[in-house]
Amino acid sequence: MRDLAAYSNSSYAPGCGVVARVLWYYVSLVVFESGWLPSSALKRTVLRLFGASIGRGVVIKPNVRIKCPWRLTVGNEAWIGQDVWIDNIDDVTIEDSCCLSQGAYLCTGTHDHKSASFELMTAPIHIKSGAWVAAKAILLPGAIVEAGQVISAGSVHKRAEGVSLKRYGPQGKRR
């Protein structure tokens, strides 16, 4: 049985201070999530200002959500399609010439459903050169997409073998 009152993620470090996170929240709403500003060049610049490593020629379509740009690396000539959600509480690496199609969801965090305190667990996602994550596909924590691989539309791509999840327990210690 879960005791959500016992949940604590106090040992998790988001990677930047509260002021930067709040500022990113509002900038993201206007520049990325609203769809009002179609310029990929402006979006690349804003992401770099918030600590992302963004290559040349990256195309970012409207209505994209990125939780933590300081945990994002994107290579050259990658495409991030409309309604993509990069839910990156851990690192996400997207290498050169990758395509994330409409509505793809990259999720680096989950919870231990067997733990009474529902502990937070994270793992990075790595998408290698030339890969295509098709529309509405989901990448779970620890997923690795190999070079040139296609992740089918609407499919779920699980954690790669040998990738460990980092656990953040209620005792305030990373386990």
CB-CB contact of 66 with 91 (8 Å): no
Q: Which residue has the tokens 């990256």?
A: 58
pLDDT digits (tens, 9 = 90+) for 35-44: 888 899 999 9
Angle 100-103-106 from CA coordinates, rounded to 5°: 65
Q: What is the pLDDT of residue 8?
A: 87
Domain ranges of the chain: 16-168
Q: What is the pLDDT of residue 160?
A: 87
**Per-10-residue mean pLDDT, the chain, length 175:** 87 94 97 92 98 98 98 98 98 98 98 90 97 98 98 95 86 50
Q: What is the pLDDT of residue 170?
A: 62
Q: What is the largest CA-CA distance in the chain?
A: 49
Q: What is the pLDDT of residue 172?
A: 45
Superfamily in which the 16-168 domain is placed by CATH: Hexapeptide repeat proteins (2.160.10.10)
The rounded Cα 35 to chain-centroid distance in angstroms is: 19
